Amino acid sequence: MEGLLPKLVFVYLGIALVATSLLVVTNKNAVHAVLWMLVMFLHQAVLFIMLDAEFLAAVQIIVYAGAVLVLFLFVVYMINLRTELRINNFTVVWPGALLVSVALLLLSVQAIKTFKPAPPVGDMTTEKIIKVGHAKLLGKALFTEHVLSFEAVGVLLLVAVLGAVVLTRRIRLKGEGV
């Protein structure tokens, strides 16, 4: 990231990401909160594109913006949260939360001070990513090097799907018919 323009874009993205995330958590209207989250995800996708990770950017939009947020909206619709909710249970502990946040901030500043980027894993150098394409390299690594973790995640998701089916299925007693 050399040159002035990428830096400016990065600063803008950083500010926009923080601002929209704050708007997401402070918004009283559930649908507006989801909308701000959509704006946040789009900025995140642009950030991925700036880091030459175009595949991640596309997946970010397809999976998070396109599917997960639509499901969020669906749920918000279903419980019909039109009126503003005021729950004080979570806001009375704000001094403690502030303390934790400041401590985390200090910790991350300390961590960033001695930060140096990790060396490329295996043959995934920056030049090769630009030459071969992000999607191809990622796919190859996923299905050769990390195939076990890939399968494990697949099984985990399958368990989640089955769990959802079991939870939502009505339990039918014997003799009630199918």
Partner 1 sequence: MIDFQAIFDTTNHFLLKYLGLSVFKSLVLVGITLLHVAYTTYAERKIIGHMQQRLGPNRVGPRGLLQPIADVLKLIHKEDIIPSCVDSPGVFKLAPFISLVAGATSLSVIPIWEHFVITNVNIGLLVVLAMSSLSSFGVILAGWASNSRYSFLGGLRASAQVISYEIAMALALVGVMMLAGSMNLVDIVKAQISSPYKVYLIPQIIGFFVFMVAAIAETNRTPFDLPEAESELVAGYFVEYSGIRFALFYLAEYFGMIVMCMLAVVCFLGGWYGPFEVPGVPFFWFLVKLYFLIFFYIWVRATLPRYRYDQLMGLGWKVLIPLSLLNIAITGLIKILV
Distances from the Cα of 161 to the Cα of 123, 148, 149, 164, 167, angstroms: 35, 20, 18, 5, 10
Minimum Å distance from CB 73 to partner 1?
Answer: 6
- Give residues 39-68 in contact with partner 1 (rule: CB under 8 A): 54-55, 58-59, 61-62, 65-67
CB nearer partner 1, residue 22 or residue 62: 62
Rounded Cα gap, residues 34 and 45, in angstroms: 16
Minimum Å distance from CB 161 to partner 1?
Answer: 12
CB nearer partner 1, residue 82 or residue 174: 82
Distances from the Cα of 141 to the Cα of 78, 119, 127, angstroms: 40, 16, 16
Rounded Cα gap, residues 45 and 65, in angstroms: 10
CB nearer partner 1, residue 9 or residue 58: 58
Rounded Cα gap, residues 60 and 64, in angstroms: 5
- Indicate whether 71 belongs to the interface with partner 1 (CB under 8 A): yes
CB nearer partner 1, residue 105 or residue 158: 158
Which residues of this protein are in contact with partner 1, per CB under 8 A?
A: 29, 31-32, 35, 38, 54-55, 58-59, 61-62, 65-67, 69-71, 73-74, 77, 82, 133-135
